[in-house]
Structure 1
Amino acid sequence: MRDRMKAIQARPGNPEGIDIGEFGQTLCLYSETMPWGQFNAVKGLKGSDIGYLDDILRFYRERERKPQLEIVPSGVDQTLLKALTDRGFYSSAVHTSMYIDLAVLEQLEDKRFSAKRDEMEPDMILESTEKGFESNVIISALEEDQLPLYATIHCRGTGLPDDGIPSVLANNSVLYNRPGWSFYLASVDGQPAAVGVMYRHGAVASLTFAATLPEFRKLGLQGLLLEQRLRAAREQGCKLVVGQCAFLSQSHRNMERAGMKIGYIRSTWTQR
């Protein structure tokens, strides 16, 4: 998110009103035009940064925004949690962080990839007959001229209105050629159906986003996009892949089927 927000901030005139604050080990993200929690999140807050807590809250109060605090259990203690409660915060949601050691992926590969699929890299052509649906599914790297298509699937696959497509397009176009970012497209019988995004930093890759158009759901497309990104991460020299999902969601089940395991359950704290 730090890299994503810096890229959006660097757009001419900073049209999304991005601001980034750092207090100790804590990262504070803010967007004037995007009020959603992920763009106004406090990340990395630990008990050792409790002395910065009021500064962090002031950062958002001055910008008239209530932040979303993302709390990782290994980094906090009772003192910090009590301090959050005293300041009007409550635990409002939980999120699952998943991971896989890519050495384990190599051991599992024969079970998940057929020899036919291996021969077809970098694209995968597969047959799907789930629920009587017969089709050719192609997973490929997204071309730069397909970014408007990506933005459309991003919005419609997540329930955002179409008037958000231009903003999503602009904010992801700045990532396309930025080091570390990779975009993938799943097509069914030649029709664009789903997308997935990955970000690599050093030897770690993060599964940052995925969405499927409603009419193409329940065909296993996200599982295939997940497999492709895991393979790409290994080819790029990564040792670890991480991702986030709602607890026991379909994404959670897809990640477990791909060999990923729970790293921790993150709690989201919201101000009353």
Structure 2
Amino acid sequence: MNTPVPPSVAEQSEAEALFRFETGAPESVRTALGMNATRIGGAVVLSMRNDPTRFWSKALGLGVTGAVTAELIREVCDFYRAERTPQAVLQIAPAFLPEDWDAICESEGITAGSSWAKLVGTTEDLVARADALDVPPDGITVAPLEARHAAEWGSVMMRAFGMPEEHYGELSASTATQPGWHPFAAWLDGEIVGTGTLHVHGDTAQMFAGAVLPHARNRGGQTALLAARVRAARDLGCRFLVAETGTETPGTRNPSLHNMFRLGFQVAYERRNWTWQPSPDAA
């Protein structure tokens, strides 16, 4: 499918957002979770050694500024070995996978996992779609997050994604007042029930951490969070928006995917999650 955003822009948008999200954490959180990060070959490489979710150790942006080679992947994996990372995910746009990728995977102990959909759109088109929908959510209001509610917002984000609140809530909350981030909250009966933030890199805005607590779902809250951030991207002068969510497998339905379709996002490509783990005999 032809989309307005090339893979290099879409991948870099996500990579920079996650790099800022993790490296901006308070030092106490970074120590508790065993966090470290680096840049290798133009990509961001993130490690969270003490992460029971096995979600946050990722290498992103591979192939954006240079070819993906066996040497590059070895350097990335060496970083994870040095950090004693129990598992990491390499996320590479299909357009950047080299012909010898299978051999690289076999050499480094990398296996294929689930797939994500990379979604993109122009701000102009997405704002027009949001304005055309203009269906108010049922009892939910969405507004920019006030700094005094950052701790509650960070906790809700982790609960909505089924992740631990300890340390992770503070990790999320710390972004609320950092430059480049534009957080929003969904409210129901005086409590925050949904989160979503926007990270701006150049003229591209990255959708990040959009989720609603189970008891407040099916009220239009997530769509309202998407629409609010689309309009914020316009006001910030961004030309493009980028987002990711899980692909649907036979017999499953991802409501987040369909909410983004409703707003006019297009699937640019599906991207495999490539899982690295240290060899059993690694020191």
Q: If the length of structure 2 is used for normalisation, what is the TM-score?
A: 0.80
* Cα distance between partner residues in 2 of 1:141 and 1:264: 30
Matched residue, 2:281: none
Contact kept, 8 Å, 2:180 with 2:201, in 1: the verdict is: yes
Kindly report which structure 2 residues correspond to 1:2-21, keeping only aligned pairs within 5 A, or say none: 2-8=19-25, 11=27, 14-15=30-31, 16-21=33-38
Q: Distance in 1 between matches of 2:137 and 2:267?
A: 30
Question: Counterparts of 1:252 and 1:142 in 2: how far apart (Å)?
Answer: 24
Aligned residue among 260, 266, 269 for 1:261 = 266
Aligned-residue identity in percent: 22
Query: Counterpart of 1:153 in structure 2: which amino acid?
Result: V
Aligned in 2, Cα 1:90/1:137: closer, same or farther, shift over 3 Å? same
Deviation of 1:107 (Å):
4.1
| Pair member with larger Rg | 1
Structure 2, gaps ≥5 residues long: 1-17, 249-253, 278-283
Q: CA deviation at 1:110?
A: 4.3
1:99 aligns with 2:120: yes
Q: Where in structure 2 are the equivalents of 1:112-191 lying within 5 Å?
A: 112-113=133-134, 126=136, 128=138, 136-160=139-163, 164-191=164-191
Q: Is the 8 Å Cα contact of residues 151 and 166 (structure 1) preserved in structure 2? A: no
Distance 1:12-1:90 versus aligned 2 partners, 3 A rule: closer
SS of equivalent to 1:54? helix
Query: Residue 22 in 1 paired to residue 39 in 2?
Result: yes
- The verdict on how the C-alpha distance between 1:20 and 1:227 changes in structure 2, with shifts beyond 3 A counting, is same
Could you tell me which residue of structure 2 aligns to residue 87 of structure 1? Answer: 108
Of 51, 54, 58, the match for 2:78: 58
What is the deviation of 1:106? 4.5
Distance 1:42 1:92, change over 3 A: same
Distance 1:32 1:90, change over 3 A: closer
- Equivalent pair of 2:154/2:171 in contact (CA under 8 Å): no
Displacement of 1:212 in angstroms is 1.2
Letter in 1 for 2:185: L
In 1, the alpha carbon distance for the partners of 2:62 and 2:102 equals 11
Matched, 1:225 2:225: yes
Read off the aligned partner of 1:90 and give its amino acid letter: T
Corresponding residue pairs, total: 250
Q: Does 2:99 align with 1:78?
A: yes
Q: Tell me the secondary structure at the aligned position of residue 24 of structure 2.
A: helix
Q: Give the Å deviation of 1:20.
A: 1.6
One-letter amino acid of the structure 2 residue matched with residue 5 of structure 1: E
Kindly report the root-mean-square deviation, in angstroms, between the aligned alpha carbons of the 2 structures. Answer: 2.1
Tell me by how many angstroms 1:202 deviates.
Answer: 1.8
Which runs of 5 or more structure 1 residues have no equivalent in the other structure?
A: 115-125, 129-135
CA contact (8 A) 2:153 2:173 kept: no
Secondary structure of 1:152's counterpart equals helix
- CA gap of 1:232–1:184, structure 2 versus 1, over 3 A, is same
Give the TM-score normalised by the residue count of structure 1. Answer: 0.83
Paired letter, 1:139: V
Q: Give distance in 1, aligned partners of 2:89 and 2:161.
A: 20
**How many Å apart are 1:236 and its aligned residue?**
0.8
Partner of 2:235 in structure 1? 235
**Of 25, 33, 55, which residue of structure 1 is paired with 2:50?**
33
Kindly provide the amino acid, as one letter, of the partner of residue 232 in structure 1.
A
User: Which residue of structure 2 lines up, in the alignment, with residue 123 of structure 1?
Assistant: none
Asked if the contact 2:110/2:274 (under 8 Å) is kept, the reply is: yes
Deviation, 1:37, is: 4.1
Aligned residues of 1:157 and 1:212 also touching (Cα < 8 A) = yes
* Contact 1:198–1:229 (Cα < 8 Å) also in 2: yes
Tell me, yes or no, if the aligned pair for 1:176 and 1:182 is still in contact at 8 Å. Answer: yes
